[in-house]
């Protein structure tokens, strides 16, 4: 390690910043945010720096710094981008025994300024030792994306219970488990979701019970929508719960690349359904979830798309409620939305459709005879789930009800995935075209004049009936290779 990482308590101490431009302004802002008194120097400060004037603790001097200005400073920043000036500043700092950092000049740095992820009071600092600041910035962006914005406030919130927890749970091991569960469990989740009252109630409740008892016996269920297939479309929350579960129950629609992101040690149970082939009855899935949760497991019920849109999420979760099992539900991008977007077909558009309906063409007992003349009409978009097998019936039903058979239709197979296929045809010809192309499930059918917009908006380059889409996550295949998922 080339540098010693430390976080300085700089409150009330003096920081000198030399420079009048953007870099200097950023240094000034950061030092002020940490509570320092800042002396900024530049003969002609820019508006950006001047814009900070008036902030408590900041003095802007419209001149060059001098050797005597270093005295009493805790640290010095050089940000003038003038080599001679920077060099002078560095020498003066050394002589005054003050640590100095010159921007973009590693040899003239006693310390480096890391990229930071600020979730105060939690601060994550990233440094490449000055070797590749861009890598630090990219890394920072990635970390930013996986840590919920309120995570720092969660630290302050839970910190307020510290003394009570210490008094209530005397065993160090049990106390640690209590903390883990509080932050990485329902209380933490409630807080991050903005529900402070429920988070408080949960902690109070857990504290009241014997902590050890609570920790060992209570499980919970996460009903999570994983979206239509592209792992990049998972929500942060979905990913977090996927990383936390002990057992995962997953469907056919959840692809291997998404399963590769589930916690490595979690037990995997395939409860998938092929159309007309229910490998595990709905009732049995619900019973299994209840049993696993009662055994103290964190159970992830992972479903394709959104669990509450043709996903039977409601049915599965009812049983949990009846059995007093605590659960969370995470929405996912539903197939109609994902498929439309990746096919370049907006579901609504002011010139084409002011409304949109999601229907399933498949009822409990097979094909549904819907009011196609109402569902397929000008100014409206129809998105049909589970409609591929019943497409000929849909077309003839529509014809019988006098629907305009020139209405454009798109059939999107494996929407959002690397092997997405899109077919378009007028309603009169679509069933034949699909049969000839041999499209298979999962497929989404979009009906309405919005389909014509695809000619302009086909951003994935996925041509009709072809498989030209190459934009799916490039990082997941290597992960998949490490953790192969077995699936019947
Ligand atoms: C049982 S439903 C589940 C829907 C899911 N809950 C959702 O919100 O997307 C399954 C149907 O969703 C559609 N579907 C799901 N994923 C799809 C995908 N990647 N491409 C095309 N259609 C998809 C198909 O119509 C499939 O038959």
Q: What integer is the mean pLDDT of 376-400?
A: 95
* CA 258–ligand 1 middle distance (angstroms): 15
Confidence of residue 405 (pLDDT cuts 50, 70, 90): very high
The pLDDT of residue 137: 83
pLDDT of amino acid 170: 82
Same domain membership, residue 163 and residue 87: no
Classify residue 367 by its DSSP letter: E
CB atoms within 10 A of CB 308: 17
48-81 pLDDT tens trace? 999 999 999 999 999 999 999 999 999 999 999 9
Active-site residue 217, yes or no?
no
pLDDT band (50, 70, 90) for residue 478: very low
Number of domains in the chain: 4
Specify the pLDDT at position 218: 66
Residue 102 is predicted with a pLDDT of: 96
Let me know if residue 486 belongs to a domain: no
pLDDT tens column, 108-128: 999 988 888 888 888 999 988
CATH number at residue 427: 3.30.950.10
Query: Is residue 181 in a domain?
Result: yes
Give me the pLDDT at residue 274, please.
Answer: 57
Least confident of 20-24, 43-47, 139-143: 139-143
pLDDT at position 362 is: 77
Which residue, 249, 324, 262, 252, is CA-closest to 289? 249
Which of 275, 305, 315, 364 best tests ligand 1's pocket when mutated (most atoms within 8 Å of CB)?
A: 305
In 3D space, the residue among 30, 27, 32 whose CA is nearest the CA of residue 11 turns out to be 32
Q: Mark whether 196 and 109 lie in a shared domain.
A: no
pLDDT over 80 (residue 476): no
Same domain flag for 303 and 243: yes
Q: Are 323 and 349 members of one domain?
A: no
Indicate which residue's Cα is closest to atom 2 of ligand 1. Answer: 310
Q: What is the mean pLDDT of residues 90-97?
A: 96
Distance 327 CA to ligand 1 centre (A): 24
* 8 assigned to some structural domain: no
- Domain boundary residue among 301, 318, 333? 333
- What's the pLDDT tens digit per position in 204-255? 888 887 555 555 566 889 999 999 999 999 998 899 899 888 899 998 899 9
3-state secondary structure of 162: helix
| Atom in ligand 1 nearest the alpha carbon of residue 308 | 6
Q: How confident is the model at residue 473 (pLDDT cuts 50, 70, 90)?
A: very low
Tell me the average pLDDT across 425-442.
Answer: 96
Same domain, 207 and 243: no
Are the beta carbons of 248 and 238 closer than 8 angstroms? no
Relative to the CA of 444, which ligand 1 atom is closest? 22
pLDDT at 462 over 80: no
Q: Does residue 477 sit within a domain?
A: no
From the CA of 385, give the closest atom in ligand 1: 25
Q: Which domain CATH number covers 34?
A: 3.40.50.720
Neighbour-count burial of 206, counting CB atoms closer than 10 A to its CB (0-12 exposed, 13-18 middle, 19+ buried): buried
Of 337 and 283, more confident: 337
Residues 328 and 233 both lie in one domain:
yes
Name the active-site residue from 42, 230, 251, 257. 251
Residue 479's pLDDT is 28
Return mean pLDDT, the chain: 88
Looking at 333, 348, 372, which one is the last position of a domain?
A: 333
Residue 485 lies in a domain: no
18 has catalytic annotation: no
Distance CA 440, CA 123 (A): 49
- Which residue lies with its CA nearest to atom 16 of ligand 1? 228
Q: Is residue 3 part of a domain?
A: no
- Ligand 1 interacting residues, C-beta cut-off 6 A: 228-229, 253, 303-306, 309-311, 334-335, 339, 385-386, 412, 414-417, 441-444
Residue 475 has pLDDT above 50, yes or no: no
Check whether 467 has a pLDDT greater than 70: no
Indicate if 359 and 444 belong to the same structural domain. Answer: yes
- The answer as to whether 6 is a domain residue is no
For residue 365, pLDDT beyond 70: no
Could you tell me if 381 and 405 lie in one domain? yes
Q: What is the pLDDT of residues 263-306, one digit of tens each?
A: 888 899 999 865 555 567 888 899 999 999 998 889 999 999 99
Does residue 417 share a domain with residue 364? yes
Check whether residue 341 and residue 453 sit in a common domain: yes
Higher pLDDT among residues 151 and 36, named by residue? 36
Q: Which domain holds residue 156?
A: 148-212
Predicted local confidence at residue 179, as pLDDT: 86
What pLDDT does residue 463 have? 63
Mutate which of 235, 250, 304 for ligand 1 pocket (most atoms within 8 A of beta carbon): 304
**pLDDT tens-digit readout, 155-194:** 889 999 999 888 888 877 678 778 888 888 888 888 888 8
Phi/psi for 268 (5° steps) reads: -110, 125
Residue 21 lies in a domain: yes
Contacts of 108 (CB under 8 A, 6+ apart): 78, 86, 87, 90, 100, 102
Q: Which residue out of 21, 110, 273, 319 is catalytically annotated?
A: 273
Closest by CA to 42, choosing from 85, 76, 94, is 85
């Amino acid at each position: 390690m080339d540098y010693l990482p430390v976080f300085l308590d700089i409150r009330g101490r003096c920081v000198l910043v030399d420079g009048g431009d953007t870099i200097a302004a950023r240094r000034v802002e950061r030092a002020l945010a940490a509570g320092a008194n800042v002396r900024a120097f530049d003969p002609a400060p820019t508006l950006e720096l001047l814009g900070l004037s008036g902030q408590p603790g900041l003095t802007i001097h419209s001149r060059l710094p001098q050797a005597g200005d270093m005295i009493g400073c805790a640290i010095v920043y050089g940000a003038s981008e003038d080599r001679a000036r920077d060099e002078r500043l560095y020498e003066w700092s050394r002589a005054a025994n003050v640590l100095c950092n010159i921007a973009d000049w590693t040899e003239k740095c006693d310390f480096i300024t890391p990229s930071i992820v600020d979730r105060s009071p939690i601060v994550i600092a990233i440094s490449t030792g000055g070797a590749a600041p861009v890598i630090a910035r990219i890394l920072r962006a990635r970390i930013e994306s996986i840590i919920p914005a309120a995570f720092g406030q969660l630290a302050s919130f839970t910190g307020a219970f510290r003394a009570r927890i210490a008094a209530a749970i005397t065993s160090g091991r049990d106390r640690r488990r209590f903390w883990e569960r509080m932050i990485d469990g329902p209380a933490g989740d409630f807080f991050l979701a903005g529900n402070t009252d429920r988070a408080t109630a949960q902690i109070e409740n857990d504290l009241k019970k014997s902590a050890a008892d609570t920790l060992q016996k209570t499980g919970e269920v996460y009903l999570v929508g994983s979206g239509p297939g592209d792992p990049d479309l998972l929500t942060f929350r979905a990913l977090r719960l996927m990383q936390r579960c002990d057992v995962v129950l997953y469907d056919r629609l959840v692809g291997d690349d998404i399963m590769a992101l589930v916690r490595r040690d979690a037990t995997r149970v395939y409860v998938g359904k092929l159309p007309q082939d229910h490998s595990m009855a709905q009732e049995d899935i619900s019973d299994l979830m209840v049993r696993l949760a009662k055994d103290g497991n964190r159970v992830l019920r992972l479903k394709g798309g959104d669990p509450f849109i043709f996903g039977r999420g409601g049915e599965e979760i009812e049983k949990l409620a009846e059995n007093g099992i605590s659960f969370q539900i995470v929405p996912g991008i539903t197939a109609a939305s994902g498929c439309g977007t990746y096919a370049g077909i907006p579901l609504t558009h002011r010139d084409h459709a002011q409304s949109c309906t999601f229907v399933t063409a498949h009822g409990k007992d097979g094909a549904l005879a819907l009011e196609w003349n109402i569902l397929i009409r000008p100014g409206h978009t129809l998105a049909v789930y589970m409609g591929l097998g019943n497409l000929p019936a849909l077309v003839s039903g529509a014809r019988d009800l006098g629907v305009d058979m020139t209405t454009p239709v798109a059939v999107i197979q494996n929407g959002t995935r690397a092997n997405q296929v899109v077919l378009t045809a007028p309603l009169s010809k679509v069933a034949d075209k699909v049969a000839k192309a041999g499209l298979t499930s999962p497929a989404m059918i979009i009906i309405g004049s919005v389909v014509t917009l695809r000619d302009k908006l086909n951003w994935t380059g996925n041509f009709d009936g072809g498989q030209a889409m190459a934009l799916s996550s490039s990082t997941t295949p290597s992960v998949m290779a490490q953790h192969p998922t077995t699936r019947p």
